[in-house]
Amino acid sequence: MDAISIIRDKRDKRALTDDQIDWIIDAYTRGTVADEQMSALAMAILLNGMTRQEIARWTAAMIASGERLDITGALADPAAAPRPTADKHSTGGVGDKITLPLAPLVAACGATVPQLSGRGLGHTGGTLDKLESIPGWRARLSNAEMLDVLRSAGCVICAAGDGLAPADRKLYALRDVTGTVESIPLIASSIMSKKIAEGTGSLVLDVKVGTGAFMKTVEDARELATTMVGLGTDHGVRTVALLTEMSTPLGLTAGNALEVRESLEVLAGGGPADVVELTLALAREMLDAAGLEDADPAKALADGSAMDAWRRMITAQGGDPDAPLPASRAQHIVTAPTTGVLSRLDAYDIGVAAWRLGAGRARKEDPVQAAAGIELHAKPGDTVTKGAPLMTLHTDTPERFDYATEALTTSYDIAPHGTEVRVGPIVRERIA
């Protein structure tokens, strides 16, 4: 077989055979298929799609490219009752810091949470990029280190190990810089290959829908969620998906250290109402999937046990939970041009602006700025006053301000006083 023939087949809308898929994933993992060839194939998949059989085989080939873990078996203690494992994955959004408070919250309620996370893709933030703003914190752990953190803290948030779906690790970075992030087959196989390979017992998927999500319509989000639930179920992982709103940024921050700060507010019993609502909704789904439906995540936030689990996890991964978070060297305030009611705040535009400030990357090898991002001072439905701060831009490189503010010129609308602004539910559908 050869890569060019496979690219041509998909370019010409032909379904790839099992043998073709197995060969291309294996050859790309070993380096005999070049990045530019896999980029061409990824674009052909984006444009022409895949059948369910192709997606299933692509996912299986990604899993087979590396090792499979058995976290439940590795953590089994004959002298103690087993703790069920539960994991969560978000398809990516703007201001989506939910994993940070969620993992320790679910751990505090009795589950073991092996949260393998990723870096930013396009205009969306990455969980690992956010946590790396904490001094000393390490994303890369060996399997033995990951199990040690799970034993001591009940939860871990880390990068997938080198042996876990290595094909996905290469392709994940490539998709970010080739305009192929939005492909439903590639999203589904990327997420589910890692989650199935890690060996979790149950999985809750947070599938974002809206302007700031990769899935812009409910129909596309539903298709992605249904595909992933089917993949998980077929591999023996109890899988549930929630379709959640992402036309407006989550919370009041978009950016790495800024979102860590907001997550700490949630763990301390405060934080923005929408972040708390979604954190609790996902926590209840994870606990129910793990057989812990009687646990009360709201109580674990209120009594400090979730914060205790956070501190144990951060410390176990080399971080200092008491260290100050990085602050940007420069700030720029965007003021409201008129008085009225903020009627729209576009998540995609906010995400692009944060990316331009340095919170994201243009190439897979680019660093990100820990302190870059956007702090919001109002959300849809709030009253704003002419000349008052609407958002504050943060960066270490102030020459980026002009480029970032270009993305914000159409990012919001202000309606006259008295206008009724309807804010829809965060959770739009549940798919199981």
Furthest CA-CA distance within the chain: 66
> Could you tell me the two tokens for 237?
């992982």
Q: Helix, strand, or coil here: 217?
A: coil
Please tell me the distance from the alpha carbon of residue 60 to that of residue 54, in angstroms, as a whole number. 10
β-bridge pairing 238-245 and 202-209? parallel
Q: Helix, strand, or coil here: 159?
A: coil
Rg (CA), the chain: 21
DSSP 66-83: S----HHHHH--TTSPPP
Residues 6+ apart with CB under 8 A from 427: 242, 243, 244, 245, 278, 281
Dihedral over Cα of 46, 49, 52, 57: its sign: negative
DSSP tag of 85: B
For residue 42, which of 63, 28, 32 has the smallest C-alpha distance? 28
Instruction: List, in sequence order, every residue forming a beta bridge with 25; answer none if it has no partner.
Output: none
Active site amino acids: 89, 168, 175, 190, 194
- Beta-carbon count within 10 A of 269 CB: 14
Instruction: List, in sequence order, every residue forming a beta bridge with 413; answer none if it has no partner.
Output: 344
Please tell me the distance from the alpha carbon of residue 39 to that of residue 250, in angstroms, as a whole number. 31
Contact status, residue 133 vs residue 258, Cβ threshold 8 Å: no
Reported residue count of the chain is 432
For residue 362, which of 214, 179, 222, 212 has the smallest C-alpha distance? 179
Contact status, residue 158 vs residue 146, Cβ threshold 8 Å: yes
